[in-house]
Amino acid sequence: MTKWQHIELWRRIILPEIESPCVLWDRNKEIIVHEQDSISSSVTTETILDGITRDQTINIIFSLGTASQQIHTLKSITLGQLLNNRYLPDLNLNISLYNCQLTLSKTDDQILSEDDFQNPVEIYLSNDDDHDEIIHFRISVLIKILKNDDKQEETFLLKDNTITIDQLLQQIEMADDKYQYLTTNDTPKIFSNNQTIFNAQSIKCIFKDI
């Protein structure tokens, strides 16, 4: 079974003048092809690949609470390209630029703006990180909850991936004699108070009471 790493071995024979190891960049998916993947299993349509020297790549870590995921990508890619509509399975998140907030791990008080998302990721590499070529971003997720009784919308910024529905409900002011629960704004499903908010897989919820 031919793997992508065999292409790199072939490249070293044909183009020995390029001394630096290379990776393959999928233009359509905007990802670096995993060298251990087989070519037949990872290519289903016409694919355009660029050979990029490894010194033009970088490792990015995204973390949410106790969960984290590392992505190997190009130094020149912007944060917007990297995150837009990208699924991060280790974080159990479908990321959208419009419902998350990013901070640099070493300066947790520096919130990245929409303009920052247009910058290449390499500018966030500090001098201390140069030897590791790793940038660490922390993600906070915006959860919007519409209160059914007064139609007021509340927004919560969550930094903990283990927070439960019950813990979130406790942050909403409500009469003590009313039972509180959450449901999505597009289905009648009621979330269990014991499940974590991120397992609910919804960032827009309706707060109801009975």
Contact (CB, 8 A) for 140 and 115 = no
- Among 8-17, 49-58, 108-117, 119-128, the range scoring the smallest mean pLDDT is 8-17
Residue scoring higher pLDDT (190 or 137): 137
Return the closest-CA partner of residue 201 out of 95, 93, 89, 65.
Answer: 93
Q: What is the pLDDT of residue 81?
A: 87
Residue that has been written with the tokens 């993600």 in this structure: 139
Assess contact for 43 and 51: CB atoms under 8 A.
no
Residue 167 banded pLDDT, cuts 50, 70, 90: confident
Tokens representing 72 are 């190997």
